[in-house]
């Protein structure tokens, strides 16, 4: 998927790369350090259609806060432990929306896309 088209969280699939989404941070689930240089937060983000687990690393940790509205550019899906997980790799971008541009939707928290189990098949 390319361009600047924003898709909805419930449209995400396990093989998606380079997608753009407008989401709200529902919760920062866990913070950990992996070595002296690497920081990792696991968050829940969503829109009016669904939520999904969102992994942020290093400098991304500083800008992704609970309640923030974000536009994710060139995001991708990883399958971790049979579940979909959203991330924004180095070639992507996370843009924090200012109050005037903020999303006005209510997050649909009862449809968590990370709860769907996927089998990873090597081809």
63 touches 71 (CB < 8 A): no
What pLDDT band is residue 1 in, cutting at 50, 70 and 90? very low
91 touches 36 (CB < 8 A): no
28 touches 19 (CB < 8 A): no
| Distance in angstroms (rounded) separating the CA atoms of residues 24 and 48 | 9
38 pairs with which residues across the strands?
34
pLDDT tens-place string over residues 9-57 = 999 998 899 999 999 999 997 677 777 778 889 999 999 999 999 999 9
Structural domains counted in the chain: 1
The CATH number that applies at residue 76 is 2.40.50.140
3-state SS assignment for residue 10: helix
Cβ count near 55 (within 10 Å): 17
Asked whether residue 94 is assigned to any structural domain, the reply reads yes
pLDDT value at residue 80: 84
| Distance in angstroms (rounded) separating the CA atoms of residues 88 and 43 | 13
| Distance in angstroms (rounded) separating the CA atoms of residues 71 and 16 | 16
What's this model's pTM, rounded to 2 decimal places?
0.86
| Distance in angstroms (rounded) separating the CA atoms of residues 80 and 118 | 9
Asked whether residue 114 is assigned to any structural domain, the reply reads no
What pLDDT band is residue 118 in, cutting at 50, 70 and 90? confident
Asked whether residue 72 is assigned to any structural domain, the reply reads yes
Asked whether residue 117 is assigned to any structural domain, the reply reads no
Rounded to the nearest integer, the mean pLDDT of the chain is 87
For residue 77, the enclosing domain spans: 6-109
| Distance in angstroms (rounded) separating the CA atoms of residues 71 and 62 | 15
């Amino acid at each position: 998927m390319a361009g600047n088209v924003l898709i909805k969280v419930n449209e995400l699939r396990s093989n998606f790369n380079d997608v753009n989404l407008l989401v709200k941070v529902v919760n920062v689930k866990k913070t950990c350090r992996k070595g002296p240089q690497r920081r990792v937060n696991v968050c829940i983000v969503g829109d009016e259609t669904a939520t999904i687990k969102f992994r942020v690393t290093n400098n991304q940790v500083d800008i992704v806060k609970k309640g923030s509205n974000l536009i994710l550019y060139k995001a991708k899906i990883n399958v971790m432990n049979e579940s979909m997980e959203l991330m924004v790799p180095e070639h992507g971008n996370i843009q924090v929306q200012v109050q005037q541009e903020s999303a006005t939707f209510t997050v649909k928290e009862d449809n968590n896309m990370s709860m769907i189990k996927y089998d990873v098949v090597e081809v």
